[in-house]
Structure 1
């Protein structure tokens, strides 16, 4: 099993409160949405990327955490280039890339328990209004963050098993067992949560 997404360190981002990080991420996402100039977005992208890559992660692991997202951004950029031109494609790639690096940096510098506690506190007004249960949402988000490394590790194991058997690397043969194993784990975790009465507290 892979270790947690959290990375020990003493960077300024580690020292920030969870609420400050979440507000910063939300504000950056909103502001960058209205910025259309690639020249203005480029320094923001570089700053967010530098923040992420200086957290102390090995370079391979750092790229591994965001590799699939960056690949998806590349595909979107190529599609935007075809339909809307180079300027729009560059702006879109830099904008989304900056948010991805910032979000990854925040995830890597915040313990899951801190995330869970802060989300629960922030959702208390919705719970008082009867819309949702804050503790359940906090637990769900914590579980998602916690099991991302394990899902990536399981995917790597399935891929290596295919290579060892000389099987072709096809999306269906890779993702089908991954999805089945993940759903089985989800059922097991749900039963464990119910058995401990977390969702009844």
Structure 2
């Protein structure tokens, strides 16, 4: 499976995963507490700077963000159609900042670190008998690992369409994409069960 993590020695790489995730959570809260375009614009500039620090290069950086950029573009267009320009601008800035911050954290934090932090965060709930902390950490780790895989499956389906001269349509893309994703999920589940991971006690 592919991973979103990028090897490097930037300040974000050296920062503790707990600090990065806590900072991301705090930044998300603060972004939705302010409506100032100036403050949000400043936050966007800082987020761009953080993401630009990653050892990816412009082309790869843009490629990694492209799926989310399309989503933000659709949301922004809809916002400008149904809301005032100020409201739509605020929403666009918030989403853009969150996207860049989340991408920066994900690119500088290994999946194992995500799993460890999520498992520790779920310990209080486990002591209350509500969840299994190890399962929560594993689930979050798998979600993060599957993001680049799903993107890769989409690109494979798209290339197959183009090679056969078939026009891209939602139904002809979504169905094989779901099948490929479920197949990958089944393979991962089989590997997990073979190692007895889900039977281990945290």
TM-score by length of 2: 0.94
Which residue does the alignment assign to 2:130? 131
Deviation at 1:129, TM superposition (A): 0.7
Which residue does the alignment assign to 1:87? 86
Query: Within the alignment, does 1:55 sit opposite 2:54 as a pair?
Result: yes
| 1:20-69 deviation digits (Å, cap 9, x = unpaired) | 01110000000110111212100101111221122011322212222121
Deviation at 1:110, TM superposition (A): 0.5
Q: Number of matched residues?
A: 200
Deviation at 1:188, TM superposition (A): 2.2
Which residue does the alignment assign to 2:197? 198
Matches within 5 A, 1:144-183: 144-183=143-182
Deviation at 1:150, TM superposition (A): 2.0
CA RMSD of aligned residues (A): 1.3
The unaligned stretches of length 5 or more in structure 1 are none
CA distance in 1, matches of 2:108, 2:142: 17
CA distance in 2, matches of 1:145, 1:76: 23
Matches within 5 A, 1:12-161: 12-161=11-160
| 1:146-199 deviation digits (Å, cap 9, x = unpaired) | 222222112111111111110001121112101111112212221221222111
CA distance in 2, matches of 1:24, 1:130: 28
The unaligned stretches of length 5 or more in structure 2 are none
CA distance in 1, matches of 2:147, 2:76: 25
CA distance in 1, matches of 2:59, 2:135: 34
CA distance in 2, matches of 1:71, 1:139: 29
| 1:102-121 deviation digits (Å, cap 9, x = unpaired) | 01100000011111111111
CA distance in 2, matches of 1:15, 1:191: 34
Moved more, 60-69 or 95-104: 60-69
